Structure 1
């Protein structure tokens, strides 16, 4: 405790110190002209942007060691997750970094009362006019226009900081971040769901699936996926969570996607009658809304919340709505948020003492549009949540081995580094090794769905927990397959899979059918939440960061996951990767068998 007090006193003292003369500016980051964006006019000098400054996390390697120890089912520390204070102590910057960055900001008239710091002091946020940002960083901000959707943002392709400040700043944004966060629902698959339901004859015999509950799945599930279908297929029939053992589940919402409560009640009446009149806790992040007008209902938000909360009722549920989305519209005024909003969500949730043990996200973007420095830093934020015992699932994408765009005609698979060479394009954050990436299947018996995102990161190296499984897959590939199109040493995605198409949800008062790995991620998250409930009911710890456990169980207990061996995920003008025995780059280790998993995770494996 004494060291924390000393740290606070030093930081407070240095923040008020008179600025000293700083060294000459040196380029911190520079990128090529970003693909898909057109430079327009110079940004208005008086437009306000919020600079996010990342200070080096002094002991992240130690936090990573803790994370892997508490997440390894064969380690003596398994389940002994860190506290909020312990995590913050490990990522706190060195006092010298705080001092040096404070001096630099003060030299431009920015003092402590104008700054906002993260709880660990590793992020500093300050709102400044574009003109001042350009002076501080020797940068030229312009309005950039996305050539697909016309969205506009303020960015620069190069920025600098004083040379003696370089080692005390990891990155500053918004500068070189040209990503375009999107939801993963494949909206072109919308159909009227009622027609599908009526086509199924009650006389059709159930489908035989040995790993399913009772070995059978209702035949209607081959045309329409409901909560009952998921429970039958993944062997979860008959399990009802406590709802009172402290277990929680959360869904994140971005880009003005609102979860409609009236639609949720229609869904409950249709598929989970016991849940009627129950709802979720709404948490606004940075002014996020949850507009309840019928016209504002979001397909992504409704899909995620209806299935995640329907499968886990009566587990307390939370919907996080994070405000902020590009574009900046010059004719309207200054932007209110020019950062990717999931970092705002990370800021918020890391500051909370109590966090849902399972959280699912169905939003991502092409990995290559995210600067490496930013991707690594955001990924470190997910690691902090894992160390605190939170399981994070992300949709792997809906573009096969491509950039997430489900339409082959508009899918771009060219490198974003100025070379414009053909390259498979995985998505971030699913490519972060500290989250669980969920691919997709279809039909019963299950096959890989063709749009399921999969492949290999060009930013993150393959983590050790994947070595055996992924090397086995690579060794099966014919020599020279897609040589140069992917990084065989990269973090491989997805980790697991779940059903991802023909989901029956309610949207704006009517039943519709929808697909996408945005269906798979909350479905898999719901199964994890049920497993957490089983553990918490026995006074055991939540599962936390899942991946070391997933790969260990897939290796030691093959029946824990249903191996998918049929299908492929075309993209970038290729057939993509094939599903095969063991791990593959379309369905991971397979889909969950809840009954087997429950016995394993509650009995010490």
Structure 2
């Protein structure tokens, strides 16, 4: 047996409580080495780079599977080992590169020369069964990427925004004809953001979309449920030009539901649904409620991608307002998750993630020493969205951003990252990885968003406001592209960082994102790790995509 993965101690915030009960059933996933992941990455860039002759010619599921499936030798070797130990495995991904087994703790300890224990998350009291080391036969190390969950500690995911109730008089004020700051943007948008503010700030059209095949997916986790009555109240107040009965389609997996008891509505879920339906006028929206059958936050992140890869009419855009500190996951697990996004991107889905709300400290307190990037936001195959506030836009202090410790700088942003690091000199030296993928990619308003929740109206802040808003903009662009007989945008970043793409963004040069007892990074001319390339202008984006 050879040690396959190990870590010296659990992730920050977790403590070992006891040995795991021997009879406790564990569901473990075995990631097999893909046949040609580098080939898939090359193919993704070919169909995503506007300078490529293959731009827009998204791959088929069969083409993607050919890149990521395990070799016959790998599958045979691992299957034989499991059979020798009387363990049945089933594939859980379309390409068969991920297997799942269920065995008691006692057998898992023996199979993997491990010591599975109960670990407690100090702040919440939630428990997880993990090990700090496991081994596999040396002959299988070339075939097996990792076992999960083993060394990755996924704290309760997401940071649900705080809801601040708005007095009725204030709520009414933003629906009136406030005196505009410019020809388009009402002064009220300096204090409260509504769909009308976003439409004015970013030139977003209000005319309904026409293409029913162009869907927008909204990911829901941690028992966050989107309430239809709250949506109706929101549309009645803030989108009087469309039917207040406009709603969403529900899709569930891993035991997910969408309870409609109004008092159980989720602030995050309501926000995401209200600012997709309320901004992406007429685009069909699907709320994808991921349950907790896997008892592990990461399983749901993988399962939603697997589910969508299997679909023939998958969403053209998927927005997610949840994530992890990068250091919570081991590098192999993080790579596997990122590679799953690569697969979905190659199929033509734009993946939008909020960058996080802890500045440079991720979800940690100011006691951190080194800056903490966030996942999946810093995966190079997704588009990370930061936050700004104010009509004269300034980077939000909470807007997470920085540089990955796991993922190298992708070619599409290499010049931007080099330029930024050169510009800040020795500031924050040693606290971040100068060779890592920089995030976020772009930014959108993320402060004082008015939503309806449990029959009240109030405001919330966070990059989880920004992500669904940007996803709505991309969905409206896709609608017009499909109507013109053109392919949807798919993986966005090579386009966004191109000379044509970046010209459609307003560069933000003010703001910092403090954390870890520092001022964090500073916004400046060009790309920066608070606001990315800046904030979008729909009219310019429309021209940039050839409409």
For normalisation by structure 2, the TM-score amounts to 0.96
- Match in the other structure for 1:294: 262
Residue 211 of structure 2 contacts residue 482 of structure 2 at CA under 8 Å; is this kept in 1?
no
In structure 1, the partner of 2:538 is 594
Question: Higher mean Cα deviation, 152-161 or 307-316?
Answer: 307-316
CA distance in 1, matches of 2:290, 2:159: 17
Q: Does 1:164 align with 2:139?
A: yes
The DSSP-based 3-state class of the residue aligned with 1:170 is strand
Match of 1:256 in 2: 223
Count of residue correspondences = 545
Aligned match of 2:394: 447
Q: Which residue of 2 aligns with 1:581?
A: 525
| Residue correspondence of structure 1 range 534-573 to structure 2 within 5 A | 534-552=480-498, 555-556=499-500, 559-573=503-517
CA-to-aligned-CA distance 1:372-397 (integer Å, 9 cap, x gap): 00000100000001100000010001
Q: Which of 24, 41, 56 is the aligned partner of 1:64?
A: 41
Say whether the 8 Å CA contact 2:495–2:501 is kept in structure 1.
no
Structure 1: state its 5+ residue gaps. 1-24, 209-214, 326-334, 414-421
Q: Give yes or no for the alignment of 1:378 onto 2:337.
A: yes
The Cα of 1:185 is off from its aligned counterpart by 3.9
1:151 paired to 2:97: no
Aligned to 1:488: 434
Contact 2:171–2:457 (CA under 8 A) maintained in structure 1: no
Which whole-Å CA distance do the structure 2 matches of 1:199 and 1:587 have between them? 29
Q: Deviations over 1:163-190 (max 9, x none)?
A: 1111110000010011214224432x62
SS in structure 2 of the partner of residue 312 of structure 1? coil
1:403-456 CA-partner distances (Å, limit 9, x unpaired): 235xxxx3442xxxxxxxx21001010010000000000010211111000100
CA distance in 2, matches of 1:195, 1:357: 39
TM-score, length basis structure 1: 0.87
Aligned to 2:170: 196
378, 403, 414: which one aligns with 1:456: 403
The yes-or-no answer on 1:240 pairing with 2:213 is no
Are 1:134 and 2:85 matched, yes or no? Answer: no
Asked whether the 8 Å contact 2:207–2:281 carries over to 1, the reply is no
Equivalent pair of 1:403/1:412 in contact (CA under 8 Å): no
* Greater C-alpha radius of gyration: 1
CA separation of 1:224 and 1:32: change in aligned 2, threshold 3 A: same
Helix, strand or coil: the match of 2:417?
helix
Q: Residue 25 of structure 2 aligns with which residue?
A: 48
Among 392, 397, 415, the residue aligned to 2:356: 397
Q: Which moved more, 1:515-524 or 1:216-225?
A: 216-225
Q: 2:232 aligns with which of 233, 242, 265?
A: 265
CA contact (8 A) 2:157 2:297 kept: no
1:320 has 2:288 as partner: yes
Displacement of 1:288 after TM fit? 0.7
Task: Tell me if the contact between 2:352 and 2:385 (Cα under 8 Å) persists in the aligned partners.
Answer: yes
What's the C-alpha RMSD, in Å, of the aligned pairs?
A: 1.7
Q: Equivalent of 1:174, from 128, 149, 160? A: 149
Distance 1:144 1:400, change over 3 A: same
CA contact (8 A) 1:197 1:220 kept: no
Equivalent of residue 2 in structure 2, options 15, 22, 26 = 26
CA contact (8 A) 1:183 1:518 kept: no
Task: Give the direction of change, closer, same or farther, for the CA distance of 1:433–1:320 in structure 2 (3 Å limit).
Answer: same
Task: Label 1:379 to 1:242 Cα distance change in 2 as closer, same or farther (>3 A).
Answer: same
